Amino acid sequence: HRFLHFRGKVPLQGSLLALPLVAGEVCVGVALFHRDKINSFQFDEVGLYHIIANQIASAVENALLYQQTRELATHDELTGLFNRRVLETRLEMEWERFRRFDITLAFIMVDVDFFKRFNDEFGHLLGDRVLRQVGQLVPEQVRKVDTVARYGGEEFAVLLPRTNKVEAAAVAEKLRAAVASLAIRPDNRDEDIGITISVGVASTEDAPRSAKQLLDMADHALLVSKSSGRNRVTTYGEGQLLV
């Protein structure tokens, strides 16, 4: 019944033949055939239409599989965010735009604080839940033109075109505060555990010589945040890396 949304799309009078499009054991849709005359579909015709429906189902299944394959090539399976490969490609594109038109570009690196504790004390399933929660929250705090990706492990990255350092720092603080409001409860505990992040920010105002150096500057600022107590935002050039 969830597929029979034909009312208003075909005349009410006539004949309608509805055949499920079954791929394996999954119904991926319904093929609707309409004729103007009442009782115009003969029994021996239905077999032919079944063959047509099976061909359509096979084509739909192949299209879905192709789409899933493309998704896996560009997206992180756990969080659904872009993967590192897509991030680096977009970073190079935005770097070229900056180089040609002198349009500011900012980069944010994010690291989930004490992530190893979640895995070691409560198991990897809880760690995965933490990453999914953070991965879902970060895109909600930025613009659609920004690129959010899982960089690797417990690290995330945000690429912000047409954004200066002050604006990027404000976005980073917004991210930090939003994540700090999150909490997660392990199955074997009666209380929630807070989640925090450390953040590093860099921009083209820091005079990087390449896209990779811009990323490295943000990563260095992230390390300063982590060595300075975590749950904080550091911009490149601010503070000192504590060993």
Q: Which of the residues are catalytic? A: 154
- E-assigned strands of the chain? 15-23, 26-35, 105-112, 147-152, 155-161, 183-184, 193-194, 197-203, 233-235
One-character DSSP codes across 189-228: -SS-EE--EEEEEEEGGG--SSHHHHHHHHHHHHHHHHHT
What letters, b where the CB count within 10 A reaches 16 and e where it falls short, cover 180-191? Answer: eebebebeeeee
**What distance separates the 2 farthest-apart alpha carbons in the chain?**
83
CA atoms of 109 and 191, how far apart (whole Å): 30
CA trace torsion 108, 97, 145, 136 (10° rounding): -30
Matching residue, tokens 């399933």? 125
Gap between the Cα atoms of 26 and 178, Å rounded: 39
Measure the CA–CA gap between 179 and 137, rounded to whole angstroms: 7
